[in-house]
Structure 1
Amino acid sequence: MSIINALEWRYAVKKFDSSKFLTEEKLNVLKKAFNLTATSYGLQPVKLLIVSDKKLQKQLRASSWNQAQVEDASHLLIFSIENKIDDVYIKNYFARVKHIRNTPDEILEPFQNFLIEDFNSKNAEEIKNWAKNQVYLAMGNLLTVCAIEKIDACPMEGFSSEEYDEILDLKSKNLTAVLVLPIGYRAEDDMFAAFKKVRKPLQDSVIELK
């Protein structure tokens, strides 16, 4: 299936088949795709939580405007951000670059110092908003990968981040929940699967400057 056909096939699933589950092979594809997602400066201020405990999914449904997809999906993906992006976090990133690429310090240090200075000049809310933007990149990437892999999904902002953080004890992990993505397989009677996509004409959404 071509990428365009896959994207035409996907939709925001409203009803999952709760008897169908993703294989470990499919989950591993999504894990690797998440980890390969582009992020600003390559800093990866995002983490993915994967929930497959049905009791926990049921509990989280109550904190998700009672949306059934959260409970009925094969797995629930929770996109979160790191709450602390400081000098140590940035230095650890450059240590990883040095280890993997064997890049000399004289090349890495100017960029490292620039990022440390740049982030020190931002307040906590600015850094949080920057990190949240990276979450949307990650979800967008996974939505495309899901479509290619014929995995159904439903991207969600409709949930209580505070309640998720409490239920999952995310503060102890220095994380905050930002987006939710139930994944699995659509129910045969989900009428939304047959709906035509509503999109602007291509000429109204794309501007070519020649």
Structure 2
Amino acid sequence: MNLIDTMNWRYAAKHMTSQKVSEEKVQEILEAINLTATSAGLQPFRVISISNPELKAKLQAASFNPQVAESSHLLVFASYTHISQAHVEEYISLIANTRNVPLETLAGFKENLSGLPSMPEDFIKNWAARQAYIALGTAIIAAANLKVDSTPMEGFDNAAFDEVLGLKEKGLQSVVLLALGYRDEASDFLVGQKKVRIPLEELIVTLN
């Protein structure tokens, strides 16, 4: 199935069955997230993958979406609330080690990134959250490619999620969720419905 067929197949499942997504498929989705594009490659977010039924039920109480509990796996995208100089130092070291290059050759890039720790907190929070949303898009496409249903969700109590998952202590804030599972064809009213999208020529402005 080509990409456009896959994208036509996927939709935000409103209800999911109890069927579990294999760990191999979940791992592939997580690897795709790890390979997603992010600003400067800094990856200023983390993804919490939850399959524990009791924990999902606890989080369900702080969400408007039944897919939180119904999902096989719930992915919580949590972005950084600040960038420290230690974050920059660790990232520069990772580049040097991964590419086997001297640290000195990265001095200019490091200098460019070193302004981030002094940026206002609101700027960092908003910027990091936008990076998490880029990763969310990658996850949705990766899941569809594996014929795994997914539902992106914003309808939840962020503060409650942060408390349950201990995110504040880690310098993180929950920003968006992705439920992974399989569509419940018996109870999901959207099963089999055509996608509703505006004409491509209305969405796209082409400047030649």
Tell me the TM-score normalised to structure 2 length. Answer: 0.96
1:136-167 per-residue CA deviation (whole Å, 9 max, x = no partner) reads 10000111111111000110011011000111
1:43 aligns to what?
42
Equivalent-residue separation in structure 1 for 2:191 and 2:102 (angstroms):
53
Aligned counterpart in structure 2 of residue 154 of structure 1, from 144, 151, 156: 151
1:128 aligns with 2:159: no
* Aligned partners of 2:92 and 2:103 also within 8 Å: no
1:141 aligns to what?
138
1:11 aligns with 2:8: no
- Gapped regions of structure 1 (runs ≥ 5): none
Structure 1 residue 59, shift from structure 2 partner = 1.2
Structure 1 residue 174, shift from structure 2 partner = 2.3
Aligned residues: 207
Equivalent-residue separation in structure 1 for 2:69 and 2:179 (angstroms):
8
Give the residue type in structure 2 aligned to 1:35.
N
Equivalent-residue separation in structure 2 for 1:207 and 1:31 (angstroms):
33
For the aligned residue pairs, the C-alpha RMSD in angstroms reads 1.1
Give the residue type in structure 2 aligned to 1:54.
P
2:85 aligns to what?
87
1:63 aligns to what?
62
Structure 1 residue 121, shift from structure 2 partner = 4.3
Structure 1 residue 209, shift from structure 2 partner = 2.0
1:74 aligns to what?
72
- Gapped regions of structure 2 (runs ≥ 5): none
Q: Which moved more, 1:79-88 or 1:133-142?
A: 79-88
1:34-78 per-residue CA deviation (whole Å, 9 max, x = no partner) reads 11111000001111101111111111111012x211111111110
Give structure 1 regions of 4+ aligned residues with deviation exceeding 4 angstroms.
none
Equivalent-residue separation in structure 1 for 2:102 and 2:71 (angstroms):
47
Q: Which moved more, 1:121-130 or 1:136-145?
A: 121-130
Q: 1:87 to 1:129 in 2, by over 3 A?
A: same
1:178 aligns to what?
175
2:2 aligns to what?
2
Tell me the TM-score normalised to structure 1 length. Answer: 0.95
Equivalent-residue separation in structure 1 for 2:29 and 2:117 (angstroms):
33
Give the residue type in structure 2 aligned to 1:144.
I
Equivalent-residue separation in structure 2 for 1:106 and 1:70 (angstroms):
47
Give the residue type in structure 1 aligned to 2:6.
A
